[in-house]
Every structure is written in structure tokens, then in C-alpha cells.
Amino acid sequence: MPVGLFYEFPHSILFCVRFRSLAVGTATGYKLFSLSNIDRLEQIYENETEGTCLVERLFSSSLVALVGASSARKLKVCHFKKGSEICNYSYSNSILAVRLNRVRLVVCLEESLYIHNIRDMKVMHTIRETPPNPRGLCALSISNENCYLAYPGSDKIGEVQIFDASNLQAKVMIPAHDSPLAALAFNTAGTLIATASEKGTVIRVFNVSDGLKLYEFRRGMKRCVSICSLSFSADSQFLCASSNTETVHIFKLEDPKEPATWMGYFGKALMQSASYLPSQVTEVFNQGRAFASVHLPFCGVRTVCALITVQKIPRVLVATTDGFLYVYNLDPAEGGDCTLARQH
């Protein structure tokens, strides 16, 4: 069995913006890996000066944002190739998440969000007295044109607040779920947002501009699970979801087609009669199922997933908190069970 990517369990794992690298914070520092070749996982950089609980890299640049394990209220922005610290900021409480793109850097505390200008790191805006967010759940789109920040609007139900981080004004509130949010993810263009609640059975995709629900997928009906991560493919055709179970689900975002089979016509007839049924039953009829799936050799471990094309083949990448990276091949035409291509 491989010894894994790391010599100790990582504090944090994150596929960096555009998924061209993997950032790992460990008890002794942090590491950056290139994802350009699945056969050989190239380590770009390693730092062992202090334990790191959060690390985020800006695209493929040399800029990294770090939060030390022993200084959870302090953010450091560094140039890792030069080995220099550009600046640092301290906050009133522990930093739970850091998100950045080419325009903004966002620091998430349990009950506030700080929006910095990425060029000079000045605080442009502060969103105070947000609902308690102990897991630091938030998402920042990577688009310059649609630079949106998403965060929970309630700790009781699954409201999503969308904030325009470029123009510094509220955009829209989306009533996404009946139970509190567990995961959020924007697509590359910043036009779609995927959401999952703490129940973990239903995943929804909304239009960011007006909050309209576009897709609804059912992960499963047997049990409630904890969704760990959501991730769109670069072309927004697919959405993957990982959880604390052994299955990663891949959903296809496509418009419903006219049925071509008897079973298809039967299903359409059920859909047409759904208006006479209770709303809970109607929702089940309207929900899509997984297009493809990954079956991991374990369960109960926190994971982060990503959809990326590596060496001209669509892949599903799954990184785990026990220090492994699994690479699966995705058949974009047929779907089904994804095959394991490599384990690191």
C-alpha cells in the first residue's frame, strides 16, 4: 500500500483555483503539488517552518495565503518562490476559511467576513454579524466579471446569501434547502452555484443572477450523509459531490430530452400527473440521478473532490484527510462506474 502524499495527516487539503495544483497544510508546514500528470505527482514546493491549518494558492502564481496552526487569528500572504512574506493581518477571532481570486481575498470568521483587495490587501468591506458559521462555509467565484461571494444566510435553514464582492453590494438571497447548508460551490463563470444541506440527500444548482433553481439531483434516499465538497467541471457540464460515504457522485447538467422509449413515455406521464400529488412526491419525480459514480475503498474519511481534464482525459480527483489522492477516469458519454487510474 502506498504511504500517501504526506508523512502525517494533513490539517487541510485544497484543490487550488482552476485545479492545476493541490495545496496541503500539515503539522509541520505546507506542500504544493502539480496535477499536470497523473502518473507522477510532482511536488512544486515544501515549507516546514511551522504547522499550517489553512493554505490557498492563487491560480498557478507564487502567491499563497497561510494560516498557522499555532496562530489561527493571523493571515500571512507569502511569495513561496522567493521565500518572502508580503504582508500579514490579524483578526478578532480564529480564521476558519480563506478564499481568493485575481480581484479579492476573503477571510471568513465564525460571524463575519472580511473582503480584501488582492492588489494591496486593503480591507474593502466587512460583512458583520453573519449567522454562526463554525465550519467557515463560504465560496468565492474565480470569475473577474462575476466576482461573487456565497455564505450561509441562516444557521437554521439552508439560505444562501450571494454578495457581489467586486461592487461590494448584496446580490440575491436563495432559499436553497429546509435544513442548514453543508456545501457550496460556484462554477468557473460564476453564473451557477451548487448547494447541499446537512441532510445530504439532495443537491441543487441555482442561477446566480436571479436565484432560480435550474437543477435538482438526488444523491440517495436510504440515509442522510455529510456532504464534504461540491465541484463543477470547467465547462459546467458536470458536478461532483463527495461525502463521508464510499461513493462520489457525478451529475450531468443537461436539459431533459423527449423520451424515446416506452419507459421514457411512462416516466413523462408520471411527471405530467405530478401536479395532483403531494409536493414531496413531486420533488422525487423531478430529481435527477447520478450520471456516473466513484466507489472509494473506504468510508468515514473527509474528502475533497474535483473534476479536471489531465492528459486530455476527464478525471475525477479525490483527496483524503488521511493523505491519499485517488485519480479516476470519467467517461463523459456513457457515465457509469469510473475506473481507478492512479493512487498516490
Q: Using CA atoms, how far apart are residues 266 and 272, in angstroms rounded to an integer?
A: 10
All domains of the chain in start order, with CATH: 12-343 (2.130.10.10)
CA distance 58 to 29: 18
pLDDT at 161 over 90: yes
Give how far the C-alpha of residue 35 lies from the chain's centroid of Cα atoms, to the nearest Å: 17
d(CA 270, CA 277): 10
For position 281, what pLDDT does the model report?
43
* Cell numbers given for 261: 422509449
pLDDT at 8 over 80: no
Residue corresponding to grid cell 495527516: 9
Label the pairing between strands 30-34 and 43-47: antiparallel
Cα dihedral across residues 315, 192, 203, 243: positive or negative: positive
Closest CA relative to residue 321, chosen from 297, 304, 340, 344 = 304
Report pLDDT digits (tens) over 32-80.
Answer: 999 989 888 899 999 988 889 999 998 888 899 999 999 999 999 999 9
Which amino acid, residue 76?
Answer: K
All 3 cell numbers of residue 66? 497561510
For the residues 87-93, what does the mean pLDDT come to? Answer: 95
Quote the pLDDT of residue 262.
Answer: 54
- Residue 329 has a pLDDT of 97
Strands (E), 136-225: 139-140, 148-152, 158-164, 169-177, 181-186, 192-197, 202-207, 213-218
Instruction: Please give the pLDDT value at position 261.
Output: 57
